[in-house]
Amino acid sequence: MKKTLLTYFYIILLCLSGKMFSQTYQLTGNPIVTTGWDLVSSANIAGGDFVQLTADQGGLYGAIKLAAPINLKYCDKWKVEFDFRIDGNGTAAFGRGDGFTFWYLANPPAGFVSGGGLGIPANANGLMVGFDIFNNSTEGQMSKVHVLYGTNNLPAGNFNIEYNNTPGSTFHSPDLITTQPFVGPTYKHVEVNGETDPANPANWLIKIRIDGVLITDQSFAPSGGAIGMTTGYFGFSAATGGASARHSIKNAKIFIDKVPILTNTITPFVCVNPATGTGTIDLTSYNTQFVANPANYIITYFGPGGVPITNPTNFSYSGNTTITVVVKDPSSTLCDNGDGIIQLNPTPFAAVDTTLTGCNNNNAGVAIFDLTTAAVTTVAGVTKKFYPTLADLNAGTNEILNPTTYSSAPGFIYVKVTTPQGCFSNAKITLNHFAVVTVNDATLRACFIETNPSTGLFNLTNASVTTQGGITKKYYPSLADAQNSTNEISATAAAAYIAPNGVVYIKVINGNGCYAIAKVTLIVIAPVYSTVLKDKTICMEDKTTLDAGPGFSSYQWSTGATTQSISNVGVGTYWVKLKTGDCIATQNVTISPSEQPVITNVDISATTITINVMGGTPAYQYSMDNINWQDSNIFKNVPRGDNKVYVKDAYDCEPIDITIVVPNIINVITPNGDGINDAIDYSALANKKNLVFNVFDRYGAKIHQGDKSTRYRWDGTIAGRKVPTGSYWYSVTWNENDKKNTPFKYSGWVLVKNRD
């Protein structure tokens, strides 16, 4: 036994395509399942979760073993667990006996074995762990553990491991009957652990525990037939002699895990050099086929007869050779895996002619070929050199240095293929072109977008650029983008593509991945507006007609009318949708009210009035009766009192009017206190806004201001002193009480006669 053994006792082998990750053997279940196990002699399943090796009778023997042997050559650790029970009535003369054994034997029992050897055949080779309840020396009861790692052939003529004391290969525990008696109604739990002794790899370090109590922990050297043993059968046996007892086991588990490998056997192509009859190979190049991360493992190689290979990177061979590969995980307790095989079967090497077909994209006349993809051989690790002619290949000239992007019209090239073993062969590669993708340029027209009339909404997917089936279209804003497959316009965006006049490109790709590029011209149909429909200005109270003119296929006005023109429309903003072909242009038109003129101020001089006007549209006309109109803004001989003046502009709309007061004119005052013409009095205008009455001397100096404080009067004095007799000028200004606050100015002169 050697290297990691973790074995469960029922047969569940988890083996996935040649890699053994975990192997489990066990005897469990209720009723217990013994599939994959052999029952020997009196061993039986009476029902329940245990195997009864013997009944409570003398002279019985029973065993159970795995039907198939287990190779532990590459394991350096193992573990066994099981539960046992020994009970029964025994015999009057000898009590209960004899005991049972767990073993791993190269030559397990096939039939009855006498009881004194705990059911172990004479000359059995392997590891035996016995649980003995009968002392053959005293013929009394005991509870001892015996271990033998060797051959059950001592002492001569007795063959009982109780008495076998081969140095370094045996162990006998003290009598445990007082502390851990083996006989009783309850099951005892046993754990047996073994691992390679680092100090002596031929030895096993064995640990045995019963119900968690350590019984032994020591190194055992193989002796006799156990030396060099790698394959054996796991099992249990028990026997009774003159005494009797029931021997039962259950929950038996033997654990064995190997380093998992990806595959068991690799048969690479190899050849020999015809000149030497030999070849060389790098065995380590196949490590990744055994494990995913070879650097994590120690991998060794053995040739025929188990001879270690010291130069695996340059191994020389001639005929068929089987290489054994052993994988060890130095960081774990898994068993080494020695199931790997590299089978070398040298065969002649010949490259095969083949064909590559490429795309003549956009009908350029050449295709880009990856010559390295030509299937000229299935042999791994070959090197290839490509040449434009066979003569170049033979001469080693003009090698093609860009084989992955080789541009060529239909034709031939040649390749020299060399295996890792130095074998070589030539092959011809025929270069063909796929059928050309046929496309045509197209034009798409779209109506202008009203919010941005220089652009249109195009559905690029409607562009008829090919009639071929089984194709895929991709859309690009420029030829360079189409050629380089950059800035692709998604299919969703292409279906609603907003653009001005210009071009886009469609790459048409067939099932072979070949393509051609079509240009699509985009034309935005400009809006067509009416040239006769213009904004108008009318009097607020007037109505007019709006006419869009002829030439449109339909009209739709904001009023709901669908006629060329609409009548009796007043001031406001209107629109009309004018259809030309499939496009509709919305044209707005405004009817504005004419601006009314405004009387800015009125000058009154005696009975002459001057009307000053601004705004509106000249020329203005003036009237004092709204019947007779004149172009002049001056009216003479206007009667005293209130008068109305009318003004209208060139649009001849309803005139504006204003009431004008022509004050009573006093030209002479005699401030002598007689009550007659004593003062100039404009208090009658006191209800006017901003009324001011000013008097000036003949030099233009203001000598009096009549306002609210002076009751808008002047009595010919300055600060209570009479002014000299003479003529004085005065002016009266105010704002009329209308919504325009029209300013008025009345001016005149007065003669003051003062008597001293």
Cα separation, 308 vs 317, in Å, equals 14
The C-alpha angle with vertex 273 and arms to 272 and 277, in degrees rounded to 5, equals: 70
Average pLDDT over residues 478-500: 96
pLDDT on residue 402: 96
pLDDT of residue 24: 66
pLDDT tens per residue across span 84-121: 999 999 988 888 888 999 999 999 999 988 876 788 99
In this prediction, residue 470 carries a pLDDT of 92
* Phi, psi for 404 (deg, rounded to 5): -80, -15
Q: Are 459 and 492 within 8 A, CB to CB?
A: no
Query: What is the pairing mode between strands 75-87 and 3-6?
Result: parallel
Token readout for 309 is 């290979």
> Any residues with CB less than 8 A from the CB of 444 and at least 6 apart, and which?
458, 459, 460, 462, 463, 520, 521, 522, 523
pLDDT tens digits along 289-326? 999 999 999 999 999 988 999 999 999 999 999 999 99
Residue 16 is predicted with a pLDDT of 29
What value does the mean pLDDT take over residues 657-661?
84
pLDDT, mean of residues 183-195: 94
The answer to whether residue 8 scores a pLDDT higher than 70 is no
Band of residue 333 on the pLDDT scale cut at 50, 70, 90: low
Give the per-residue pLDDT at 666: 74
Higher pLDDT, 60 or 710: 60
Distance, CA of 613 to chain centre: 77
The pLDDT of residue 20 is: 37
Average pLDDT value for the chain: 89
Read off the pLDDT of residues 417-429 as tens digits, 9 standing for 90 and up. Answer: 998 878 889 999 9
Could you give the dihedral angle defined by the CA atoms of residues 627, 633, 636 and 638, in that order, rounded to the nearest 10 degrees? 60
pLDDT(689) > 60 = yes
Strand partners, 91: 95
Is the model's pLDDT at 12 over the cut of 50?
no
CB atoms within 10 A of CB 17: 7
What confidence score (pLDDT) does residue 420 get?
82
**Tokens encoding 728:** 């004085």
pLDDT band at 756 (very low <50, low <70, confident <90, very high): low
- DSSP, residue by residue, 449-468: ETTEEEEEEE-GGG------
From CA 374, how far away is CA 431, in angstroms rounded?
A: 10
DSSP letter for each residue of 107-132: S---S---GGGTTPPTT-EEEEEEEE
Residue 379 and residue 243: Cα distance in Å, rounded? 70
Q: Using the predicted structure, report yes or no on whether residue 9 has a pLDDT greater than 70.
A: no
Q: What is the pLDDT of residue 47?
A: 80
Give the Cα separation of 100 and 247 in Å (integer). Answer: 7
pTM of the entire predicted model: 0.46
Residue 23 — pLDDT band, cuts 50, 70, 90?
low
Give the pLDDT score at 195: 87
Instruction: Please give the share of the chain, as a percent, with pLDDT higher than 70.
Output: 96
Identity of the highest mean pLDDT range in 69-78, 203-212, 685-694? 203-212
What is the identity of the amino acid at 96?
Answer: R
- Cβ proximity of 152 and 130 under 8 Å: no
Share of residues in the chain with pLDDT > 90 (%): 63
The whole-angstrom distance between residue 591's C-alpha and the CA centroid of its chain comes to 59
Locus of tokens 């029992």: 109
**Confidence class for position 617, pLDDT limits 50, 70, 90:** confident
Phi, psi at 371, each rounded to 5°: -65, -25
Per-residue pLDDT tens digits for 525-544? 999 999 999 999 998 889 99
pLDDT tens, 583-595? 999 999 999 998 8
* pLDDT exceeds cutoff 80 at 11: no
The 3-state DSSP class for residue 204 equals strand
Average pLDDT for residues 620-631, to the nearest whole number?
Answer: 93
Residue 653 pLDDT greater than 80, yes or no: yes
Residue 7 banded pLDDT, cuts 50, 70, 90? very low
pLDDT of residue 18: 31
Per-residue pLDDT at 706? 84
Mean pLDDT in residue range 441-458:
96
Average pLDDT score over residue span 727-731? 84
Q: Average pLDDT in the 253-271 region?
A: 88
Domains annotated for the chain, with CATH where assigned, are 23-256 (2.60.120.200), 265-344 (no CATH), 354-434 (no CATH), 442-521 (no CATH), 536-593 (no CATH), 598-661 (2.60.40), 663-752 (2.60.40)
